[in-house]
Amino acid sequence: MSGELRSESLEQALAGPRWKRVVLKLSGEALASSASDETIDAAIVSRLAGEIAASCAELGTEMAVVIGGGNIWRGTTGAGEGMDRATSDTMGMLGTVINALALQDAIERAGQPTRVLSAVHMAEVCEPYIRRRALRHLEKGRVVILAAGMGSPYFTTDTPAALRAAEIDADVIMKGTHSGVDGVYSADPRLDPSAARFDEIGFMEVVAQDLRVMDLTAITFCRDNQIPILVFDIMQPGNIRAALSGKQIGTLIS
Ligand code: UDP
């Protein structure tokens, strides 16, 4: 280990966790395989779960994961083909429950206790989302996995991530990206090589410049309730821990 690396990890250990309680917004597509057409890639889930388990254990961070379902179904896909939008969105919400169970299994195999709480009640499968119960689990050091978004159609899981962050008094929303874009840029860096990444940016600028990092409803909700959002590349190994321990990665919207 180089002297630089050693002093960096020592610095992180001494600094402790940057935030006490976080909401991690994990897109369903992050669980899918880019190499094959696996809807849920066991190796990817295991890698993400291992990082979540290890960083929460080491840093003592309380974490609620809001899991998406885009790898299985998106409401807009069905609606675009003529399906009833509310029905199609309900299918999307059920997809998030499948992902939540996959993530729960992997995080628990990594040695970290979890609870899945769903906004659509499924007594045989997981607990219902009850705010005070979620808080109790967090206080007990369990990773809480929030499934089925808000339980209402016409939303994506970005807005429930913001809502739950406010409800459980989280210090930040960590929005993990999976498309190779590691933060908020002045333009899409995949299309415009001159695009520059912001280390920090204000909510108003994100809205005014129409920088599509999260749904607008979620962004304005976070602005109104003063919940910062860290946009970072979750597919880069080590980034969850780096973000939790305060290393400068991604873009902080505040
Ligand atoms: N969804 C919904 N209400 C919610 C959350 C999700 O109807 O509160 C549906 C919606 O159809 C969405 C799908 O669930 O397209 C999957 O969620 P999302 O698109 O956020 O998944 P991600 O992009 O994070 O993988």
The pLDDT of residue 164 is 98
> In the structure, which protein residues have their CB atom closer than 6 angstroms to any atom of ligand 1?
27-29, 68-70, 74-75, 89, 92-93, 95-96, 149-150, 152-153, 155-157, 160
Q: What is the pTM of this model?
A: 0.93
Cα of 2 vs centre of ligand 1, distance in Å, is: 44
DSSP assignment of 139-160 equals: HTTPEEEEESTTSSSS--SHHH
Q: Work out which ligand 1 atom sits closest to the CA atom of 158.
A: 20
Q: How far apart are CA 200 and CA 156, in angstroms?
A: 25
The pLDDT of residue 1 is 40
The pLDDT of residue 131 is 98
Cα of 243 vs centre of ligand 1, distance in Å, is: 25
The pLDDT of residue 5 is 46
- Note the Cα 108 to chain centre separation in Å: 18
- Beta strand spans in 189-234 (E): 200-201, 229-233
- Note the Cα 96 to chain centre separation in Å: 12
- Averaged over successive runs of 10 residues, the pLDDT of the chain (254 residues) comes to 49 71 97 87 97 97 98 96 98 98 98 98 98 98 98 98 98 94 92 94 94 93 98 96 95 97
Q: Which helix (H) or strand (E) holds 115?
A: strand 114-118
The pLDDT of residue 238 is 96
